[in-house]
Amino acid sequence: MQQLKESSHMGQHRLHKTILVVEDDDSIGSLLIDALAQETSYNAVLVPDGFEALRAVRSLKPSLIITDYRLPQMDGLELYDQMHSMDEVADVPTILMSAYMPVDEVQKRDLVSLHKPFELDDLLDTVETLLR
């Protein structure tokens, strides 16, 4: 089982809110985790795929999920559908990131989407808006 990568502030109780980032590209995932740790007051945890995310949500109880669309084994929409059928995270807002956005499916689920490449400020603004 792959270990979760946590922001450097994970041990502190920074507002008691956790963001789960699901990204299979470690360099992008690390960049997102570092930006969230430095620029927000939230804890951030990185997992590499949908199956790890499904395992992590039970213990983390995230306040927000940020996921890539193109993931190994299950895509971001499949992950969203499975997570939102779980009582623990049924109402947790989700940001879907992708260069290849399935617009109809995103609209059907009323998801927040960010088209890659995006500015980190756009992500941070979206995170703050969703977690207010």
Number of domains in the chain: 1
Token code pair at residue 21: 């980032």
Token code pair at residue 117: 């490449």
Three-state SS annotation for 34-89: HHHHHHCCCEEEEECCHHHHHHHHHHHCCCEEEEECCCCCCCHHHHHHHHCCCHHH
Q: What is the CATH number of the domain that holds 94?
A: 3.40.50.2300
Average pLDDT value for the chain: 90
pLDDT tens across 70-97, in order? 999 999 999 999 999 999 899 999 999 9
**Maximum alpha-carbon separation in the chain:** 39
In this prediction, residue 5 carries a pLDDT of 58
Write out the residue range of the structural domain in which residue 124 sits.
5-131
The model's pTM is: 0.88
